[in-house]
Amino acid sequence: MVLPITANINSLGHLEIGGCDTVELARQYGTPLFIMDEATLRGQCRTFMQAFGAKGIEFDVVYASKAFSCTAMCQIAKQEGLGLDVMSGGELYTAIKAGFPMDKVLMHGNNKTPEELALALDNNIGRVVVDGFHELELLDKIAGEKGKVQPILLRITPGIKPQTHSYIQTGQIDSKFGFGLQDGLAMSAVKKSLELKNVELKGLHAHIGSQIFELGSFAKAIEIIMEFVKQIKDETGFVAREFNAGGGLGIQYKAVDEPSTIEEFASVVVDGVVREAQHLGLPVPKIMVEPGRSIVANAGVTLYTVGTIKEIANIRTYVSVDGGMSDNLRPMLYGAVYEALLANRAQEKATTMVTVAGKHCESGDILVRDIELPHPEAGDILCTPATGAYGYVMANNYNRQPRPAVLLVNNGEARAIIRRETFEDLVRLDASIE
């Protein structure tokens, strides 16, 4: 079972995280409920910083806030010395309200609006990662109107197709992201950037996908990008001083998963860049990486209350809970697979094969399929681990379901860092026509 580092079973047989009894948290705060373990979050941040720091090069670890964004998470990243990657005006505004240093923020997105770019420039954002020619010219225009020169990276698609779900592959030729190498658009973007007066090209960015176990894809992408850096130098004289290798390091969702370690990832990235730079006669650039899932996923769990149990003889037993696709869309969107346990009966032997179903009016609203649990009963507290990434941030109000609260737990203390939505919240933006 993949649980936060502080998880254990207490004397009552209850799952405990961060020194807090999860069954008591469910009683106090209600369910569905996200729980984030602060020790795991900070531990992952520190492991990334130490792994890259040990390599003796100039680097930035930039937290990809799309994985889990809120004021408190931005503040944790800031306190641990990380930068921040945002891809929308909302994520940027959250960083601003969290007091995040703007010079350590990078803005992504394949279709940034004029309003988002203006907000970024008004707050002196560190880097804009430019994704297309329209954006490049728009950014130059807005920066000129504001009397600024905006530092940028260019997002390059290296033509790498890693082994992961097709929805989270981003480095292949057929991608909505970035400037392609094969069709010459990447070089055209470099030359255009160097011509413009209100942007300053600092380097290149390449993110090939997410939830990647095989590090060879990263090594190949680095080789391709560094060869392109040499080509740029030969054709224009410009030397890229920054290289952002993106994120995508896979994590454990199930006990049988065997992802690479953070240290192995750091070695592949840094050693690859240094080796290629030396081979090509280039200076070693500042190296950036953008972990998101690998920082927050295993820090989080979701709690549900079991309700209806439907047994279909010789076919399946459905255990329905009080959440589902409105708080965890990934099983429906990607076919993501999770484990589960009963938090209030954590020591009991699993004896019954069940399928955990959500409460929404979709047959596909299945959270966990065909898993063994102790014989479930209505009122049990069911826990799905590894929901810290792309859980709350993808939560929605389908069937007018309020989004859950998020608790941060540490040393026996639980703090609500995102409050639960109420029915009143659901109608707050509605307008009556009577």
The predicted-structure confidence for 173-193, as pLDDT tens digits, reads as follows 667 888 999 889 999 999 999
CATH 3.20.20.10 residue ranges of the chain are 108-291
Which residue stretches of 243-316 are H helix?
A: 262-280, 293-296
Q: Assign 3-state DSSP to the chain and report helix, strand, coil percentages, each to 5.
A: 35, 25, 40
Task: Specify binding-site residues.
Answer: 248, 290-293, 330, 334, 362, 390
Model pLDDT, residue 173: 65
**Average pLDDT of span 367-385:** 98
Distance CA 184, CA 90 (A): 33
pLDDT tens readout for residues 79-138: 999 999 999 999 999 999 999 999 999 999 999 999 999 999 999 999 999 999 999 999
Model pLDDT, residue 161: 59
Residue 169's pLDDT band, with cuts at 50, 70 and 90, is: very low
Task: Specify binding-site residues for pyridoxal 5'-phosphate.
Answer: 248, 290-293, 390
The structure's pTM equals 0.94
Helix (H, G, I), strand (E, B) or coil at 154: strand
CA 33 from centre of chain: 19
Contact 267, 313 (CB under 8 A): no
**Average pLDDT of span 348-364:** 97
Distance CA 18, CA 5 (A): 9
Model pLDDT, residue 209: 80
pLDDT tens readout for residues 284-343: 999 999 999 999 999 999 999 999 999 999 999 999 999 999 999 999 998 999 999 999
Model pLDDT, residue 166: 46
Task: Specify binding-site residues for substrate.
Answer: 293, 330, 334, 362, 390
Catalytic member of 20, 45, 74, 361 = 361
Backbone angles phi, psi at 381, to 5 degrees: -105, 110
CATH 2.40.37.10 residue ranges of the chain are 8-37+297-427
Helix (H, G, I), strand (E, B) or coil at 28: helix
Contact 304, 321 (CB under 8 A): yes
Q: Which fold is adopted by the domain 8-37+297-427?
A: Lyase, Ornithine Decarboxylase; Chain A, domain 1 (2.40.37)
Residue 211 has pLDDT above 90, yes or no: no
Contact 126, 103 (CB under 8 A): yes
Distance CA 116, CA 155 (A): 18
Write 54-57 long-range contacts (CB < 8 A, 24+).
54/266, 55/266, 55/267, 55/270, 55/271, 57/270, 57/273, 57/274, 57/284, 57/286, 57/287
Residue 163 has pLDDT above 60, yes or no: no
Residue 170 has pLDDT above 80, yes or no: no
Q: What does CATH list as the number for 108-291? A: 3.20.20.10
Active-site annotation holds for 361: yes
- Tokens representing 9? 């079973």
pLDDT tens readout for residues 261-282: 999 999 999 999 999 999 999 9
pLDDT tens readout for residues 38-86: 999 999 999 999 999 999 999 999 999 999 999 999 999 999 999 999 9
